[in-house]
């Protein structure tokens, strides 16, 4: 490489300074070796990743705890796309807010390696410049990024956009790890943006979308594209909270303890904007499922394979990530998105089904000496019945259990009522049986005399009924007692007749209980006396 080429590459980012260097060399050719040494030192410093003069307390902290040059080189690489081609800055925007790989305001630029912007061998790289020192902090070829996104910033009063560059997955790579890049711009024209390339300036349709159009053109030259959300793909059922007229393209979700936003794009699903970012391309997604579906929220599970879509991607194990607390109002839109892109719904997959062991299966396993749960897999493998046959068998088992538990005596009766009714019926039956038995025994022993006693008792009952009718339907206060007295009179008459025939006292008579002759009348009427006629009976008179 000649001295002029070295100087050209070293001062390619500053064309005015490069022009002054060449003018100085032309004026004093003896100073050419000095400028060449300065150019070599400058290129060596760029490739080594020189650290700016910030104090150590303000330097970025990295996962391995280091803040030195080596760590900075790994996280913020400076890798020129083609060292053998001239470098030219085709776009530079000043004071852009970056959130990844570091939260800081930097100058954003696009460098072209090659003379023709449309040539196939021309490559492009993105770089950042420190506003304080005007030194380059980072430069990465666009070819190392797999996806580029432009997404609206959620839940902001002013409309803003996040540009996201997602690096390619390079397993086994020993070079520096390229981190995602995120910067934010306000909607509308940029405050300070210069496009030295006339051809690139013609691409932008207007001042509001200069950066978007320029990046889209550069990405197409690198066989990539800039992805934007589209209402035809997905939009949230809830509009932007601060701008009710604008559609929201995000769904709020949680990945573990970290909150973020899900975007359903035309080429995959993105979750951001906090680390770790995640982008699931359609070719990497194995299945999508829903869990913990509740009245207000649900969870979204994405099973995917890593490997960047290479030939050995199928050999990589399937990993699964869960996004929780999604709004139930967005379930229909997400489900339609999943079905439209042919993503497999694994909500009812075998791994998610609860293992069900019936009671009969448990009892059979215990009888066979197997503990519960053992041999379950063997039984499932040997079961060749259809789902209809299994359902019919389950219904038959339930009917058998109901027949075993059936109690004919309890049907149609409430608790406690059956026993009381049966006891009352038994008491009535026993009472009637004793009455009939007593009457038959009395008839056998007394013969015609029992008939006279029964006739007299019937006449007494008739007289009582006539007296009740004559009292204008008034109830007899001693009605219940009269029935008891009539019962005692019958037994007393039987005992008296037996006593007269045998000449013995009534053995069943109890002290304190009067006989039929000594029972006073409750209504003041005639009482039975031996040899005396009944005044109410005309035949006896």
The answer on 346 and 278 residing in a single domain is: yes
What is the rounded CA–CA span in Å between residue 357 and residue 113?
68
Instruction: Report the C-alpha gap between 100 and 13 in whole angstroms.
Output: 24
Give me the CATH number covering residue 342. 2.30.29.30
What are phi and psi for residue 246, nearest 5 degrees?
-100, 140
Same domain as 210, residue 162: yes
Burial of 136 (0-12, 13-18, 19+ CB in 10 A): buried
Distance of CA 497 to the CA centre of its chain: 94
Check which CATH number belongs to the domain holding 198 and give it: 2.30.29.150
pLDDT-based confidence at residue 426 (cuts at 50, 70, 90): low
Residues 181 and 281 in one domain: no
Lowest mean pLDDT among 60-74, 79-93, 119-133, 474-488: 60-74
> Both 223 and 263 in a single domain?
no
Note the pLDDT of residue 188: 87
Class of residue 32 by CB neighbours under 10 A (exposed 0-12, middle 13-18, buried 19+): middle
The answer to whether residues 482 and 457 touch, using CB atoms and an 8 Å cutoff, is no
Q: What is the C-alpha to C-alpha distance for residues 388 and 403, in angstroms, rounded to an integer?
A: 23
Q: Residue 89's beta-bridge partner residues?
A: 111
User: Which DSSP state fits 410?
Assistant: G
pLDDT grade for 427, boundaries at 50, 70 and 90: low
- Chain-wide mean pLDDT for the chain? 73
Of 142, 178, 181, give the one whose Cα is nearest residue 165. 181
Instruction: Say how far apart CA 434 and CA 411 lie, in whole Å.
Output: 32
Highest mean pLDDT among 63-77, 234-248, 261-275, 503-517: 261-275
Question: Are the beta carbons of 18 and 11 closer than 8 angstroms?
Answer: yes
Q: What does the pLDDT read at residue 443? A: 55
Query: 295 or 170, which is more confident?
Result: 295
CA distance 154 to 357: 48
Q: What's the pLDDT band for 507 if we cut at 50, 70, 90?
A: very low
Residue 73 contacts by C-beta under 8 Å, 6 or more apart in sequence? 48, 49, 176
Note whether 220 and 96 are same-domain residues. Answer: yes
Three-state SS at 258: strand
Say if strands 226-227 and 145-152 run parallel, antiparallel, or are unpaired: parallel
pLDDT for the residue numbered 33: 85
Residue 61 lies in a domain: no
pLDDT of 386 = 61
Which token pair is 247?
A: 């559609």
User: Domain count of the chain?
Assistant: 4
Q: What is the mean pLDDT of residues 297-325?
A: 82
Alpha carbon separation from 268 to 148, 203, 323, 374, 536 (Å, rounded): 12, 27, 15, 43, 116
Q: Are residues 176 and 306 in the same domain?
A: no
Evaluate whether residue 380 is within a structural domain. Answer: no
Question: Furthest-apart CA pair in the chain: how many Å?
Answer: 179
* Same domain? 91 vs 123: yes
Residue 482 resides in a domain: no
Same domain, 207 and 287: no
- What whole-number distance in Å separates Cα of residue 290 and Cα of residue 337? 13
Helix (H) or strand (E) holding 322: strand 318-327
**Minimum mean pLDDT among 47-51, 153-157, 168-172: which range?**
47-51
Say whether 436 sits in a helix, a strand or coil: helix
Cβ–Cβ < 8 Å for 94, 101: no
Q: State pLDDT tens for residues 223-264.
A: 889 999 999 999 999 988 888 888 999 999 999 999 999 999
For residue 153, pLDDT beyond 50: yes
Indicate if 286 and 346 belong to the same structural domain. yes
Residue 50: predicted pLDDT? 42
Q: What is the pLDDT of residues 324-339, one digit of tens each?
A: 999 999 999 999 999 9
Among 319, 352, 385, the domain-final residue is: 352
- Asked, for residue 385, whether it belongs to a domain, the answer is no
Residue 324 resides in a domain:
yes
CB 80 within 8 A of CB 87: yes
The answer on pLDDT for 175 being more than 50 is: no
104 and 145 co-located in one domain: yes
- Identify whether 239 is part of a domain: no
Tell me which of 57-66, 334-343, 380-389 is least confident: 57-66
Query: Residue 444 pLDDT more than 50?
Result: yes
Dig out the tokens for 173 from the structure.
């790579």
Which residues contact residue 212 at a Cβ distance below 8 angstroms, ignoring those fewer than 6 apart?
150, 226
- Nearest to 467, CA basis, from 450, 479, 453: 479
Q: What is the pLDDT of residue 42?
A: 80
**Angle at Cα 88 formed by Cα 87 and Cα 92, nearest 5°?**
130
Domain that holds residue 318: 250-352
Burial 99-128 (b: 16+ CB within 10 A, else e): bbbbeeebbbbbbbbbeebeeeebbbbbbb
């Amino acid at each position: 490489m000649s001295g002029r080429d070295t100087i050209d590459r070293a001062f390619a980012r500053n064309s005015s300074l490069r022009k002054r260097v060449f003018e100085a060399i032309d004026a004093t050719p003896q100073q050419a070796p000095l400028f060449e040494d300065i150019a070599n030192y400058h290129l060596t410093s760029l490739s080594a990743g020189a650290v700016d003069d910030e104090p150590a307390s303000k330097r970025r902290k990295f996962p391995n705890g280091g803040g030195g040059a080596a760590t900075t080189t790994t996280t913020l690489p400076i890798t020129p796309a083609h060292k053998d081609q001239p470098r030219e800055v085709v776009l530079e925007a000043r004071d852009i807010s970056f959130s990844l790989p570091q939260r800081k305001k930097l100058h954003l630029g696009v460098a072209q390696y090659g003379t023709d912007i449309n040539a196939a061998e021309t490559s492009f790289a993105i770089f950042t410049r420190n506003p304080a020192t005007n030194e380059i902090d980072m430069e990465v070829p666009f070819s190392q990024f797999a996806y580029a996104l432009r997404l609206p910033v959620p839940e902001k009063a002013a409309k803003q956009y996040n540009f996201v560059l997602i690096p390619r997955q390079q397993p086994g790579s020993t070079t520096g790890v390229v981190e995602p890049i995120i910067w934010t711009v306000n909607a509308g024209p940029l405050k300070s943006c210069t496009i030295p390339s006339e051809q690139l300036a013609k691409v932008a349709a207007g001042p509001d979308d200069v950066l978007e159009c320029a990046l889209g053109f550069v990405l197409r030259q690198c066989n990539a594209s800039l992805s934007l959300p589209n209402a035809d793909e997905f939009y949230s059922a809830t509009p932007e909270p601060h701008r009710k007229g604008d559609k929201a393209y995000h769904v709020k979700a949680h990945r573990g303890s970290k909150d973020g936003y899900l975007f359903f794009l035309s080429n995959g699903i993105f979750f951001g904007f906090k680390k770790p970012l995640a982008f699931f391309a359609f070719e990497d997604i194995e299945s999508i499922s829903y869990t913990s579906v509740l009245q207000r929220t649900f969870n979204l599970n994405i099973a995917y394979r890593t490997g960047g879509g290479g030939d050995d991607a199928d050999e990589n194990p399937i990993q699964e990530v869960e996004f929780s607390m999604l709004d139930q109002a967005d379930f229909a839109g997400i489900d339609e998105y999943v079905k439209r892109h042919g993503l497999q719904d694994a909500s009812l997959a075998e791994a998610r089904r609860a293992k069900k062991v019936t009671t009969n299966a448990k009892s059979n396993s215990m009888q066979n000496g197997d503990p519960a749960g053992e041999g379950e897999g063997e039984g499932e493998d040997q079961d060749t019945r259809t789902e209809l046959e299994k359902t019919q068998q389950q219904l038959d088992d339930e009917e058998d259990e109901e027949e075993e538990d059936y109690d004919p005596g309890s049907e149609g009766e409430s608790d406690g009522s059956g026993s009381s009714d049966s006891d009352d019926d038994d008491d009535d039956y026993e009472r009637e049986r004793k009455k009939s038995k007593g009457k038959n025994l009395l008839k056998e022993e007394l013969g015609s005399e029992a008939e006279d006693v029964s006739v007299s008792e019937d006449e007494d009952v008739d007289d009582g009924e006539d007296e009740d009718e004559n009292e204008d339907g008034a109830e007899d206060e001693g009605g219940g007692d009269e029935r008891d007295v009539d019962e005692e009179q019958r037994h007393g008459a039987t005992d008296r007749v037996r006593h007269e025939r045998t000449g013995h006292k009534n053995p069943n008579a109890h002290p304190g209980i009067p006989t039929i002759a000594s029972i006073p009348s409750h209504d003041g009427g005639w009482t039975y006396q031996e040899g005396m006629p009944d005044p109410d009976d005309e035949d006896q008179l």
